[in-house]
Structure 1
Amino acid sequence: MNDNSEKIKKRYNRVSRVYDFLEKPMEMMTSDKWRDRLIEEIEGQKVLEVGVGTGKNLLNYPDTLDITGIDFSENMLEKAKEKIGHKENIKLIEMDAQKMDFEDNTFDTVLTSCVFCSVPDPVEGFKEVRRVCKEDGKIVMLEHMRSNKKVIGKFMDIVNFIPLNIWGANINRKTIKNLKKAGFKEEDIKAEKVWSDIVKFIVIRNKK
């Protein structure tokens, strides 16, 4: 893990106790409807959730699925483990999204939820997601990103240092462009607006 990754990891460890509170504004923009959609879009049995955080999605998964959740913050994972109790179909692992330990083509579906604002090198993270997801598998994302509107986008650039330095989240990531840089083709990326053009629900068919 490089110095930048380690720095952000420490920030998430530090704020883990109050992270759910810090996420309240984002929760207001996404609503339970869109988190339910994440689960509804799942295909196959083997599912990876990248960046489980404190585990806000974990109790929504059906018991019939084989769920693996990763996060690079051990303190966030401890919160997630408290939430799931002894659910045997969920395995939580401390792991960096930029360098996963899984074999190629391991998972039928990969999910992310407000995660790639925090991955230090999002393109590397997306390359790993593409690698571990099976050929013709599914990648489902609920992510916030930089607005394409001139004034709003510029404002997000100016204030980005605030969340970045408090807990390591960037509010001005150009996520669709980063997906393309990671090798995903534009025609395989389906993006739906959730809140203005800042929060989007993204479904990708993993063509390799």
Structure 2
Amino acid sequence: MMSTKMTNTIKRRYNRISSIFNLMDNMMPEGWRKELLKEAQGKVLEIGVGTGTNLPYYPDNIDLTAIDFSPKMLEKAKEKTQKNNHAVALLEMDAENLIFEDNSFDTIISTCVFCSVPDPVQGLKEIHRVLKPSGKVLMLEHMRSDHPVIGKGMDFLNPIGLHIVGANINRRTMENIEQSGLKVESQVFLMGSVMRKITLTKKC
């Protein structure tokens, strides 16, 4: 697991940009969120809720818990729940160390989160642990391009984004998923190989 120092550094960066994060988050096409979140059902956990951009798109008949390790982000998300009357439990929590019991959730959501989790494999292992055997993980994630030239360019530029906002643009997310014990049920390429909609389940 990555050091507490790294986690705290990234947390401070996200606290710092919380006031403008909603503008950054809204750069993702609304249709991608709607398509993903309409599949949420049962007891749902959102990892990295940020300022709550996803909250208006969830179905009504779910039991929603949403976490983030940035208290400033959670303040913004709470404002959205108050304005829109959304029933959601908002908790400050690290994705690498979830407090929930094993096999707790029917659906787990992440949208552009695993670029910033300091130890993404540990975070994904925690998702595997708290997901019910019949459950699904629904993800919208950006990652390192499969194109050799573009991928190397992302490697070169990555330190800039990491320093400013704590997000990596060159994460090898599919390899990290493989190490976590989760199984790829489907993946849809939304923007070349960089942006993908991914559905995961537990391996048998």
TM-score by length of 1: 0.92
Answer whether contact 2:81 2:87 (CA < 8 A) is retained.
no
What is the correspondence of 1:101-180 to structure 2 with a 5 Å cutoff?
Answer: 101-180=99-178
Percent identity over paired residues: 49
**Greater Cα offset, 32-41 or 117-126:** 32-41
CA distance in 1, matches of 2:81, 2:157: 35
Map of 2:192 onto structure 1: 196
* Runs of 4+ more than 4 Å apart: none
Flag structure 2 segments of 5+ consecutive residues without an equivalent.
none
Cα pair 1:136 1:207 within 8 Å, conserved:
no
State the partner residue of 1:92. 90
Say which is worse superposed, 189-198 or 67-76, in terms of deviation: 189-198
Please report how far the alpha carbon of residue 133 of structure 1 lies from its aligned counterpart in structure 2 after TM superposition.
Answer: 0.7
Q: 1:22 maps to which residue?
A: 24
Query: 1:189 Cα shift?
Result: 3.5
Asked whether the 8 Å contact 2:66–2:91 carries over to 1, the reply is: yes
User: Cα deviation per residue 1:151-187 (whole Å; 9 max; x = unaligned)?
Assistant: 10000000001110011000000000000011124xx
What is the CA–CA distance in structure 2 between the aligned matches of 1:85 and 1:22, rounded to whole Å?
Answer: 22
* C-alpha contact (below 8 Å) 1:64/1:89 kept by paired residues: no
Classify 1:88/1:35 alpha carbon distance in 2 versus 1 (closer, same or farther; 3 Å): closer
* SS across alignment from 1:85: helix
Output the CA distance in 2 between the equivalents of 1:56 and 1:104.
27
Q: How far apart, in 1, do the equivalents of 2:77 and 2:190 lie?
A: 25
**Structure 1 residue 191, shift from structure 2 partner:** 1.1
Alpha-carbon RMSD across the aligned residues, in angstroms, is 1.4
Secondary structure of the equivalent of 1:197? Answer: coil
Aligned counterparts of 1:4 and 1:137: Cα–Cα separation in 2: 31
Deviations 1:23-77 (A, max 9, x none): 35xx2xx41111011122223x200000000000011122321100000000000
TM-score, reference length from structure 2: 0.94
Structure 1: which 5+ residue stretches go unaligned?
none
Task: Please say if residues 65 and 89 of structure 1, whose CA atoms lie closer than 8 Å, have aligned partners that are also in contact.
Answer: no
Which residue of structure 1 lines up, in the alignment, with residue 5 of structure 2?
3
Q: State the distance in 2 between where 1:65 and 1:89 align.
A: 9
How far apart, in 2, do the equivalents of 1:161 and 1:174 lie? Answer: 15
What is the deviation of 1:88? 5.7
Give the Cα–Cα distance (whole angstroms) in 1 for the partners of residues 134 and 107 of structure 2.
10
Match among 44, 52, 72 for residue 55 of structure 1? 52
State the partner residue of 2:68. 71
Residue 181 (structure 1) aligns with: 179
Distance 1:140 1:88 in 2: 20
Mapped to 2, the partners of 1:70 and 1:104 lie a distance apart of: 17
Aligned in 2, Cα 1:89/1:20: closer, same or farther, shift over 3 Å? closer
